[in-house]
Chain A
């Protein structure tokens, strides 16, 4: 776009980035070496915590929590009860990670991480709690690694995910009293009843939830995604409690035990948001 003064300004496009494709054509050996090193640094690795585990785990139900509210719900309602054992974790690095290398030690509680837990009373129930940012180019590999840890025969996947209500498109205006609310997407092989309305077009899901759901659809794994739309920027207890009804067919939740943990999960962000801190 030429201006009055004759300078040419690049126009933003929602579809393509300017002049990126041209630079890809002439790459030399050094460029390819750098690219390979970057890909190696950004690769996702499975680290087993069980001593003798070398193959996929038997699994009938896999619950994946992606996003602050979903991870907080898993922490408050599920992991705070006794009987969960960490069996594996995924090690990966990207620009938003802490430190400059891929982590080699088990992440502590509350650190950005992705840990796989198993229920001791029913060992075929697994939880995958994903805290922290997975980059766009890592989502596919990340999903493949998660599903390489479990047997996919007769597997049922439940994905819990967060989304801002600002991204929700509807012809009627969305008032504040209707948030938070749930919407669902399910694969063609999912046969159970869902606990909330389906996600209407033109709304879509993206990120890790979309990567997992696409993997399940392509490989004909029974899966359902529950997406919680919230107008609060930080994790809040009202959004987390929305997920409770979605897991009633898989697990029995302890309602009373979670109140204290729920307070602790949400209080962290309240302190951070203080004006005087």
Chain B
């Protein structure tokens, strides 16, 4: 559950919660890294749960030697008071047998904290797209019923595309349609839970392949910024997102010089 890192328990009433799904390419997690690093958000608490694989490291957003040795764990909550923004960064995969517990934990925390809305950043396998999904932008959105009334008009103005439903049996006419997000991890389950529990949630996802997913993260966070306006967009060019120092050596260590 959520444990505050300071003495005072922070209030999230009326805040927007942004969290990633652990999905293909880790795109949601990379996008959240960009958000926390650029806004310089302080950590306000931990998400201490047995549903995530434990990991620990030094500060992934270190800007100087003073804060480089701040310990970081599997799941932490950062917040920005002025923007009324809370961000939950999940850094480890969910243990397979505890996915149901994790969903219950997330739903109960979202409800008890009184978030205005929740944004889930996710991704899906590009190679499993349906034919109709191949055209145009790789970005998609999904809205839970309670958020649909408020935001659908806005999303249509932005020119966003809603996630298409796929036939359960392709080729058969009048077949049942279902939501299909391969490689999305907990995305579909969490979205379905939010729909049934009347939690306002928006899912923003991108189709991608595993590899160098940094461009996908930039595309996803730019898309989110078009909606939420977390950072001012300059008239020429795009927002200058700050890449955290933990992104270095993404493709391994140095090459042994004896190789040549």
Chain A residues engaging chain B, CB cutoff 8 angstroms: 1-2, 11-21, 24-25, 35, 38-39, 136-137, 139-141, 143, 168-174, 185-188, 198-207, 209-211, 213-215, 217-219, 225
- Contact between chains at A20 and B96 (CB < 8 Å): yes
- Contact between chains at A185 and B71 (CB < 8 Å): yes
Shortest Cβ-Cβ A-B pairs, 4 listed: A140-B50, A204-B57, A211-B54, A210-B54
- Contact between chains at A173 and B257 (CB < 8 Å): yes
- Contact between chains at B56 and A21 (CB < 8 Å): no
Instruction: State A126–B58 Cα separation when bound (angstroms).
Output: 27
- Contact between chains at A169 and B249 (CB < 8 Å): yes
CB distance from B51 to the nearest CB of A (A): 8
- Contact between chains at B54 and A140 (CB < 8 Å): yes
Instruction: State A21–B192 Cα separation when bound (angstroms).
Output: 13
A136-B95, A186-B69 given; A213·B56 CB < 8 A: yes
Residues of A within 8 A of B55 (CB): 204-206, 210, 214
- Contact between chains at B58 and A198 (CB < 8 Å): yes
Residues of A within 8 A of B48 (CB): 214-215, 218
A202-B247, A218-B46 given; A16·B24 CB < 8 A: yes
- Contact between chains at A12 and B210 (CB < 8 Å): yes
Q: Which of A21, A171, A198 makes the CB contact (< 8 A) with B69?
A: A198
Q: Which of A11, A16, A139, A206 makes the CB contact (< 8 A) with B127?
A: A11
Residues of A within 8 A of B24 (CB): 13, 15-16
Indicate if B38 sits at the interface (CB-CB under 8 A). no
Which A-chain residue is minimally distant from B99 (CB atoms)? A24
Indicate if B200 sits at the interface (CB-CB under 8 A). no
- Contact between chains at B54 and A214 (CB < 8 Å): yes
CB distance from B61 to the nearest CB of A (A): 9
- Contact between chains at B53 and A136 (CB < 8 Å): yes
27 A-B contact pairs sorted by A residue (CB < 8 Å): A1-B127, A2-B127, A11-B125, A13-B25, A15-B23, A15-B24, A16-B185, A137-B98, A139-B54, A141-B50, A169-B252, A173-B253, A173-B254, A173-B255, A174-B254, A186-B69, A187-B71, A199-B58, A200-B58, A201-B57, A201-B245, A205-B56, A206-B56, A207-B54, A210-B55, A218-B46, A225-B56
Indicate if B62 sits at the interface (CB-CB under 8 A). yes
- Contact between chains at B189 and A21 (CB < 8 Å): yes
- One digit per residue, 1 when the CB lies within 8 angstroms of any chain A CB and 0 when it does not, for chain B 224-260 equals 0000000000000000000001111110111111000
- How many residues of chain B are within 8 Å of chain A by beta carbon? 55
Q: Which of B59, B68, B93 makes the CB contact (< 8 A) with A15?
A: B93
- One digit per residue, 1 when the CB lies within 8 angstroms of any chain A CB and 0 when it does not, for chain B 54-79 equals 11111110100000111101100000
Instruction: State A239–B75 Cα separation when bound (angstroms).
Output: 32
- Contact between chains at A17 and B96 (CB < 8 Å): yes
Residues of A within 8 A of B25 (CB): 13, 15
Which A-chain residue is minimally distant from B180 (CB atoms)? A22
Instruction: State A141–B181 Cα separation when bound (angstroms).
Output: 32
- Contact between chains at B57 and A199 (CB < 8 Å): yes
Instruction: State A35–B96 Cα separation when bound (angstroms).
Output: 12
Residues of A within 8 A of B245 (CB): 201
Residues of A within 8 A of B253 (CB): 168-171, 173-174
Residues of B within 8 A of A201 (CB): 57-60, 62, 68, 245-246, 248
- Contact between chains at B54 and A206 (CB < 8 Å): yes
Indicate if B3 sits at the interface (CB-CB under 8 A). yes
CB distance from A205 to the nearest CB of B (A): 5
- Contact between chains at A15 and B56 (CB < 8 Å): no
- Contact between chains at B73 and A35 (CB < 8 Å): no
Residues of A within 8 A of B49 (CB): 140
Q: Which of B56, B70, B185 makes the CB contact (< 8 A) with A204?
A: B56
Indicate if B16 sits at the interface (CB-CB under 8 A). no
Residues of B within 8 A of A19 (CB): 182
Instruction: State A96–B185 Cα separation when bound (angstroms).
Output: 27
Residues of A within 8 A of B26 (CB): 14-15
- One digit per residue, 1 when the CB lies within 8 angstroms of any chain A CB and 0 when it does not, for chain B 204-221 equals 000001100000000000
A13-B210, A198-B58, A203-B57 given; A21·B185 CB < 8 A: yes
Instruction: State A183–B32 Cα separation when bound (angstroms).
Output: 28
Indicate if B117 sits at the interface (CB-CB under 8 A). no
Indicate if B22 sits at the interface (CB-CB under 8 A). yes
Residues of A within 8 A of B185 (CB): 15-16, 21
Instruction: State A217–B98 Cα separation when bound (angstroms).
Output: 23
Q: Which of A35, A140, A218 makes the CB contact (< 8 A) with B3?
A: A218
Q: Which of B46, B95, B246, B257 makes the CB contact (< 8 A) with A137?
A: B95
- One digit per residue, 1 when the CB lies within 8 angstroms of any chain A CB and 0 when it does not, for chain B 172-192 equals 000000000011111011000
